Chain A
């Protein structure tokens, strides 16, 4: 699904933000990406989302070589993934329904399809009864779930999340994590950047650890507790 091959990323006038990063995330696999802030987690996700381009190395998503994707084709590559942000990035002047419908509108789905899929997606995150509300009236956890509904509404094959539980209390975090596990169980590949080491250690998923731009750890938590 995702293949990093000796990826380096350097901004002009600085040291490498990522250097020689190589890993492979299988189709249908779920993994965490950890490391201190500044270790390169966000940059790595940005490379996958084509927000940044690698300075060197090969990056393949779904068999497509991202280093060769032209500017014009970027939107079509992004439509294959769902991205979840720490700050939700919802459109505050539109209803929950309209926010979740956005990826479908962009892709030109028909009105009937949009309604059906948005409702299914909101149902999955448990917000079906709030579709007419504006995001500002929702709690932080609810806003994050709207963001998740938006990320999965077009049935992407890859889900990227950047600190999805960063601002949430533990109970809500577990709830959100449960959602990711659900999607993973139906075959979606999931990559979550998080520094919630406590939670990660209690989950049976692969952990990629970044330190100063280098991949220093790739494995499973030693302690596997059932959740």
Chain B
């Protein structure tokens, strides 16, 4: 079919405007073949200067790896934070004058409740001894005439999060209890800090994203300058701007994809290197926590954002610089 149509474009026969586009393109398949060969060609061009290409891709990779790595850290912290939240304890400070007997009886009664897992008793003497050894106030405390510390019941509840507040209210109602305190404040503070850090990571990601855009843009601008003559010649032969733009856009995509792959490699090797020390550390805290390699979701997102940034960066450069290159 198509062969006929192209052969029929005889010499001297004026073609109607616009026919050149439709008549010579063998439909959608031809279009995809053209794009595929363009993509491969621009990859081939990049591979002809492997060092320069890798340098650019590495800069992009590092820029992408930094926010990704930080995000993974925060993510891991939050997951382990979830574990800690479950181990929340409630401390019941008993009124002065409650003896050990009454305290133990209360402990027994509380342990039978459905939402309480276990209760244990810390006598004022135990508390003092612990405080002396841990707080660094040992010598000051030794000079005290009487023990100022109350007896404490440590309650391990069988619940999480906001339900704890209701439990505390009920525990406060017992006549023996002076103060009921959730040992979670430090965790809440940690989460507040983490939220700030997360914002910071987001800002960093934004800045580095812009950096990637500029890096790709500048690289493509140089490539355009280097091929100025070629662009002029192809324009003279009748290339559309879209045709000339395409290889540069594909280079941008390749740079972004390569950068994304390098970032993936960097982050995963960092996690791999940190895995053992982190496991050791959390082991010391009694947790069995392990750093996870990047999930496939995050990996795909990383590669995707690399491609997107590469494409937009080259689009910016192409839009700005290609227009000014016209045959003279």
A27 touches B236 (CB 8 A): no
A27 touches B12 (CB 8 A): yes
Main secondary structure of the interface of A (DSSP, over half): loop
B236 touches A89 (CB 8 A): yes
Q: How far is the CB of B28 from chain A (nearest CB, A)?
A: 12
B13 touches A78 (CB 8 A): no
CA distance A143 to B327 in the complex (A): 21
- Judge whether B20 is part of the interface by a CB distance below 8 angstroms: yes
Q: Please report which residues of chain B, range 230-248, place their CB below 8 angstroms from some CB of chain A when the two chains form the complex.
A: 230, 233-241, 243
Number of contacting residues on A, CB 8 A?
A: 37
The 8 A CB mask of A99-141 against B (1 = contact, 0 = none) is 0001100111111010000000000000000000000000000
The 8 A CB mask of B1-25 against A (1 = contact, 0 = none) is 0110010011111110110110011
Q: How far is the CB of B119 from chain A (nearest CB, A)?
A: 80
Q: Please report which residues of chain A, range 34-92, place their CB below 8 angstroms from some CB of chain B when the two chains form the complex.
A: 49, 51, 62-64, 72-73, 75-80, 83, 89-91
B229 neighbours in A (Cβ, 8 Å): 89
Nearest residue, chain A, Cβ from B25: A108
Q: A108-B25, A109-B24 given as contacts; is B11 within 8 A of A103 (CB)?
A: no
The 8 A CB mask of B229-272 against A (1 = contact, 0 = none) is 11001111111110100000000000000000000000000000
Q: A51-B328, A79-B20, A110-B2 given as contacts; is B238 within 8 A of A186 (CB)?
A: no
CB-contact partner of A106 in B18, B230, B238, B326, under 8 A: B238
Q: How far is the CB of B48 from chain A (nearest CB, A)?
A: 9
A75 touches B25 (CB 8 A): no
CA distance A151 to B33 in the complex (A): 25
Q: List 24 A-B contacts (CB under 8 A).
A: A27-B12, A28-B12, A51-B327, A62-B14, A64-B17, A75-B239, A75-B243, A76-B20, A76-B21, A76-B238, A77-B238, A78-B237, A78-B238, A91-B230, A103-B238, A106-B238, A108-B25, A108-B30, A110-B26, A113-B6, A150-B237, A157-B12, A157-B14, A186-B11
Residues of chain B touching chain A, judged by Cβ–Cβ distance below 8 Å, are 2-3, 6, 9-15, 17-18, 20-21, 24-26, 30-31, 33-34, 229-230, 233-241, 243, 326-328
